[in-house]
Structure 1
Amino acid sequence: MKKSALLIIDVQNGMFLEENPVFNDKLVIGNILQLIGNAKSNNVPVIYIQHNAPLGKMLEPGTKAWEIHPAITPAKRDTVIQKTTPDAFYKTNLQEVLQKLPIEHLIIAGIQSDVCVDTTCRNAYSLGYEITLVTDAHSTWDSGKLTAQQIINHHNQVLRWFADTQETKDIIFH
């Protein structure tokens, strides 16, 4: 049985602003909380990815928007990886952390379905990880042409080339 880790991508306060929250914000947070609880009760590591935007941008380090959402605040034993691009592996120590644990399977949830979740999922696959994308635990916003739900559905379908896709209720941690 391959050793797993739960990867929570960019679930930061700026994604939940009252005036423009990510689609299905409460459902996504609830599902991520369930995943975290199940992971921890099975001694599966939880790794948080935190995006660092340039000065003056919404996710600028040190700002309230940059902080990880308070409902899922990392525990002291959890790892937090800082990134500056959509790819959680690019110019970060994520690969080293995973190799030390040693992790072979990533369970991925977070924000933004069509950017950071997609990019990290594809790169993890290229690096040889087995991946499970939690289909109801990632989200995005409407675009000019597509609704957030259409974008999520599209990515759940396309990312099947790179990941096993499952709902939160079907995730089994080991």
Structure 2
Amino acid sequence: MMKKALLIIDVQNGMFTEGNEVYKSVTLLENLNQLINQARSTNTSIFYIQHNGPVGHPLEYGTKGWGIHPNISPQNQDVIIQKTTPDSFLNTTLEEELKKHGIKHVFITGIQTEACVDTTCRRAFSAGYQVTLASDTHSTWSSNEITAQQIINHHNTVLRWFATVCPSHEIIFNT
């Protein structure tokens, strides 16, 4: 059986600031919790990717905003990877940890759809991993030009070149 891992990218307190929370924040956390619970019940590895922002950034290293959201807190067996760019592989230990755990298939979730989620999805594909993007378990904010939902829809369509894209309720880890 191919070993799998759930990647949770940048679901940190700073992304849930009151009045500027990520799009559909409550649904995002609910869907993530369902995937986390399923992953735990099937002994699927969980990797939390935590962005270390510079001074003044909402995810500034060591601040409250930098912390992983308490609704999806990691447990002792989970792996936490620190990053400083949108690419969860660039200058991080992610590749090393995936290899150490024998992971061949990654399930990608998190924030921000058009930056860290997109980049990590493409990079995982290029590195030879089987990739699944949970279509309802990544999010962003609206821009001046298009809505957050349009950004999510667009990326769910475009990233089909690099991943199997499906809603979280269709994901099964133990097969």
Regarding TM over 0.5, the answer is: yes
Q: What is aligned with 2:44? A: 44
How far has the Cα of 1:56 moved from its partner? 2.2
State the percentage of identical aligned residues.
Answer: 57
SS in 1 for 2:38: helix
Tell whether 2:118 aligns with 1:118.
yes
* Cα drift, residue 91 of structure 1: 0.1
Once the two structures are superposed, residues 113-154 of structure 1 have per-residue CA deviations (whole angstroms, 9 ceiling, x without a partner) of: 000000000000000000000000000000110000000000
Q: Which residue of 2 aligns with 1:132?
A: 132
The answer for unaligned runs of 5 or more in structure 1 is none
Give the CA deviation at 1:19. Answer: 1.3
What CA distance in whole angstroms lies between the structure 2 residues aligned with 1:57 and 1:156?
27
1:53 and 2:53 aligned: yes
**Counterpart mapping for 1:134-153 below 5 A:** 134-153=134-153
Q: Answer whether contact 2:15 2:58 (CA < 8 A) is retained.
A: no
Note if 1:5 corresponds to 2:35: no
Distance (Å, rounded) in 1 between the aligned partners of 2:20 and 2:56: 19
CA contact (8 A) 2:53 2:59 kept: yes
TM-score for both structures, normalised by structure 1 = 0.99
4+ aligned runs moved over 3 Å, structure 1: none
What's the TM-score once normalised by structure 2's chain length? 0.98
Distance in 2 separating the partners of 1:150 and 1:58? 24
- What SS does the corresponding residue of 2:137 show, helix, strand or coil? strand
Q: Distance in 1 between matches of 2:97 and 2:77?
A: 13
Q: What is the count of residue pairs matched by the alignment?
A: 174
Equivalent residue letter for 1:28: L
In structure 2, runs of 5+ residues without a counterpart are: none
Give RMSD over aligned pairs. Answer: 0.6
Query: Cα deviation per residue 1:88-117 (whole Å; 9 max; x = unaligned)?
Result: 000000000000110000001000000000
- Cross-structure match for 2:102: 102
Structure 2 CA distance, aligned partners of 1:25 and 1:18? Answer: 11
